[in-house]
């Protein structure tokens, strides 16, 4: 036994690699200072001839600082040395595997993650990341086994379910894929990238409606379920280079975690105060956190540095819109479209603003442009129809609604708008009472909606059944009184008098109806704090 211990104590030290020279002259001042301080600290620790484990920590710390700044060559060498000095410490191969994966060196990443599991086969983050690599390589059974192991971990469950859903989809098990992916989305609602595989699974089941609905919500560069990863978080906390901070903030933003995104963007701005993109992203995060005035200041500052950023112009427009600064908002929406003509959201928000300011014909033109780029959007189709109605172009409005109805025959809002127009249009050539009655009857029986009740009464009146129109309209008025739902009472009473006089309605919506004052939720007015 004594001889064995003596042999262990005299084991020669591992061969270490020389740290490569790194040109830092073109890096940001904050990055140069961080690397210089890290090297000074490493030299101090190494000169004391510390034990192997302590020297491994010194190399690992140096590797994390390089890794955090995206300086991969010196980071790789530092991690390799740390791993050789402390072969049972899973941190260094784990971070090295991430370094390889980020550099698309997938075989090296796979092998290195496998070595982590050889040290600790219960390491959940490694199970998830290695499972993802196995899946990418077509090793479905290996991937499935690792994801199933990770399922028991509450924090990693969404990521594990996501992996299992994709494996099931690849195996043609569409029902299981839907079940797994739907559960993952319940746990991680902002995981918009999962909508595409979920749509494919629904398509495999022959459910085209759910397939289409999920494809419409798919964001190609959106988020996927994440998990707690203290080792990577520690490495990431050492970031000072603005582009890395910016990338991390953008990732948090995609996940809807704007509080975390704000911290990253603030750090990016501190590292590089003249970084227009970082300032713009900080402003966007602040806007999403409801801090309107500060968001406005940061976005203006960003655009002063770089006026070409369409996203910054759009975000500033929304900030103005929320404050009811309509002229300023319109100016920024126009600036957005000038720089990004395909921006559907900017086209719609600008059209909304034009509608609210009384320019219905111009709003219709903009909605039509947006609909050309997003033909399956019921919101845009209905907004176009309302703008055309407001402009007195009822035949065009009917055509827009007929097209939308042919594409989405189960959409209640489209059905109601079409039925109401068919019942009330001023031009006889646009009206079709029997069809309006059929549409309204079916929808009312399915929904018992007060809004549809109004439409149903309009259709009764248009087809000459004034007795039923009066009866139903009175019931609808009572329903509004009992529910307290907002409604234009003068409009209701005006229509009731018409029906009682044996006259049909020729006004489908009151002039002050919300349909003529459109505003998307993102541009909703901010409420001023009470004084």
Contact 98, 232 (CB under 8 A): yes
Q: How many separate helices (H) and strands (E) can be counted in the chain?
A: 28, 0
Q: What is the pLDDT of residue 160?
A: 98
Q: Where residue 8 falls among pLDDT bands split at 50, 70, 90? A: very low
Provide CB contacts within 8 A for 295, sequence distance 6+.
283, 284, 286, 287, 315, 319
Mean pLDDT value of segment 128-142: 96
CATH 1.25.40.10 fits 241-341, yes or no: yes
CATH topology of domain 352-524: 1.25.40
Residue 151: is its pLDDT beyond 50? yes
Given CA atoms 235, 236, 240, 242 in this order, what sign does their dihedral have? positive
312: which 2 tokens?
Answer: 């910054």
For residue 207, the model assigns a pLDDT of 87
Distance, in Å, from the CA atom of 373 to the CA atom of 216, rounded to the nearest integer, reads 13
Write down the pLDDT at residue 1: 43
Query: Which pLDDT band, with edges at 50, 70 and 90, does 5 fall under?
Result: very low
User: In the predicted model, what is the mean pLDDT of the chain?
Assistant: 92
Residue 204: partners with Cβ closer than 8 Å, 6 or more residues away: 169, 172, 174, 177
pLDDT digits (tens, 9 = 90+) for 55-103: 999 999 999 999 988 899 999 999 999 999 999 999 999 999 999 998 8
**Domains 241-341 and 352-524 equal at CATH topology level:** yes
Lookup result for tokens 């980020």: 102
Give pLDDT, residue 112.
98
User: Looking at residue 501, what is its pLDDT?
Assistant: 98
How would DSSP label each residue in 184-228?
HHHH-TT-GGGHHHHHHHHHHTT-HHHHHHHHHT--TT-------
Q: Could you give phi then psi for residue 196, rounded to 5 degrees?
A: -70, -55
From the CB of residue 89, how many other CB atoms can be counted at a distance below 10 Å? 16
Spatial separation of the C-alpha atoms in residues 137 and 143, rounded to whole Å? 9
Q: Structural domain boundaries of the chain?
A: 25-216, 241-341, 352-524
Q: How far is CA 53 from CA 16, 83, 113, 233, in A?
A: 14, 10, 21, 22
**How far does CA 307 lie from the centroid of its chain?**
25
104 Cβ contact partners less than 8 Å away, ≥ 6 residues apart? none
Of 428 and 529, the structure prediction assigns the larger pLDDT to: 428
Query: What CA–CA distance (Å, rounded) separates 362 from 367?
Result: 9
Alpha carbon distance 379, 220 (integer Å): 22
DSSP element (H, E) containing 81: helix 72-85
φ/ψ of residue 33, rounded to 5: -65, -40
Tell me what pLDDT residue 385 has: 98
Please give the Cα distance from 247 to 240 (Å, whole number): 12
- 3-state SS of 395-427 is HHHHHHHHHHHHHCCCCHHHHHHHHHHHHHCCC
Query: Per-residue pLDDT averaged across 452-460, rounded?
Result: 98
> So what CATH class is 25-216?
mainly alpha
- At residue 108, the pLDDT reads 97
Q: Using one digit for the tens of pLDDT, what is the confidence trace for 222-276?
A: 788 988 899 988 887 787 778 788 888 888 888 778 888 999 899 889 888 999 9
Confidence of residue 531 (pLDDT cuts 50, 70, 90): very low
- The model's pTM is 0.66
Provide the pLDDT for residue 11: 63
What angle in degrees, to the nearest 10, is found between the helix axes of 124-136 and 106-119? Answer: 150
Q: Identify the pLDDT of residue 527.
A: 60
pLDDT given for residue 106 in this prediction = 93
- The predicted structure's pLDDT at residue 2: 40
Residue 294 tokens, joined: 């500060």
Place of tokens 């919506």: 509
Neighbours of 456 (CB within 10 A): 29
For residue 438, pLDDT beyond 70: yes
Comparing 21-30, 142-151, 182-191, 268-277, the range with the smallest average pLDDT is 21-30
The alpha carbons of the chain give a radius of gyration, in whole angstroms, of 31
């Amino acid at each position: 036994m004594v001889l064995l211990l003596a042999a262990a104590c005299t084991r020669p030290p591992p061969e270490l690699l020389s740290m490569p020279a790194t040109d830092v002259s073109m890096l940001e001042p904050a990055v140069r200072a961080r690397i210089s301080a890290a090297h000074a600290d490493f030299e101090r620790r190494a000169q004391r001839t510390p034990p192997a484990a302590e020297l491994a920590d010194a190399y690992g710390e140096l590797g994390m600082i390089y890794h955090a700044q995206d300086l991969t060559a010196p980071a790789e060498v530092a991690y390799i040395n740390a791993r050789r000095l402390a072969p049972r410490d899973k941190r260094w191969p784990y971070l090295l595997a991430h370094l390889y994966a980020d550099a698309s060196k997938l075989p090296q990443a796979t092998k290195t993650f496998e070595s982590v599991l050889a040290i600790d086969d219960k390491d959940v983050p490694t199970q998830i990341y290695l499972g993802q690599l196995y899946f990418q390589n077509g090793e479905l059974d290996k991937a499935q086994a690792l994801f199933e192991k990770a399922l028991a971990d509450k924090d990693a469950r969404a990521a594990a379910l996501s992996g299992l859903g994709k494996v099931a989809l690849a195996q043609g098990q569409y029902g299981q894929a839907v079940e797994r992916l739907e559960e993952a989305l319940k746990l991680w609602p902002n995981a918009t990238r999962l909508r595409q595989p979920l749509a494919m699974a629904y398509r495999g089941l022959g459910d085209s409606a759910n397939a289409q609905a999920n494809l419409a919500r798919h964001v190609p560069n959106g988020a996927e379920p994440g998990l707690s990863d203290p080792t990577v978080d520690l490495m990431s906390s050492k970031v000072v280079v603005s582009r890395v901070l910016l990338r991390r903030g953008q990732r948090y933003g995609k996940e809807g975690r704007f509080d975390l995104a704000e911290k990253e963007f603030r750090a990016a701005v501190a590292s590089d105060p003249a970084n227009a993109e970082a300032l713009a992203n900080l402003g966007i995060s602040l806007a999403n956190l409801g801090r309107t005035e500060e968001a406005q200041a940061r976005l203006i500052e960003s655009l002063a540095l770089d006026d070409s950023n369409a996203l910054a112009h759009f975000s500033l427009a929304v900030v103005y819109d929320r404050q009811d600064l309509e002229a300023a908002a319109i100016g920024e929406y126009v600036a957005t479209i000038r720089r990004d003509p395909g921006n559907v959201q900017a086209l719609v928000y600008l059209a909304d603003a034009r509608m609210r300011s009384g320019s219905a014909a111009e709003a219709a033109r903009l909605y039509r442009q947006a609909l050309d780029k997003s033909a399956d959007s019921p919101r845009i189709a209905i907004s176009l129809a309302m703008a055309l109605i407001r402009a007195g172009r009822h035949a065009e409005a009917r055509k827009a609604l007929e097209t939308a109805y042919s594409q989405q025959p189960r959409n209640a809002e489209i059905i109601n708008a079409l039925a109401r127009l068919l019942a009330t249009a001023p031009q006889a050539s646009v009206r079709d009472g029997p069809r309006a009655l059929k549409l309204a009857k079916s929808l009312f029986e399915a929904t018992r909606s007060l809004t549809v009740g109004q439409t149903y009464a309009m259709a009764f009146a248009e087809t000459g059944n004034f007795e039923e129109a009066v009866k139903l309209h009175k019931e609808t008025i009572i329903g509004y009184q009992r529910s307290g739902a907002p409604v234009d009472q003068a409009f209701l009473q005006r229509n009731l008098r018409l029906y009682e006089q044996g006259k049909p309605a020729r006004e489908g919506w009151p002039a002050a109806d919300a349909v003529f004052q459109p505003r998307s939720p993102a541009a909703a007015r901010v409420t001023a704090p009470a004084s």
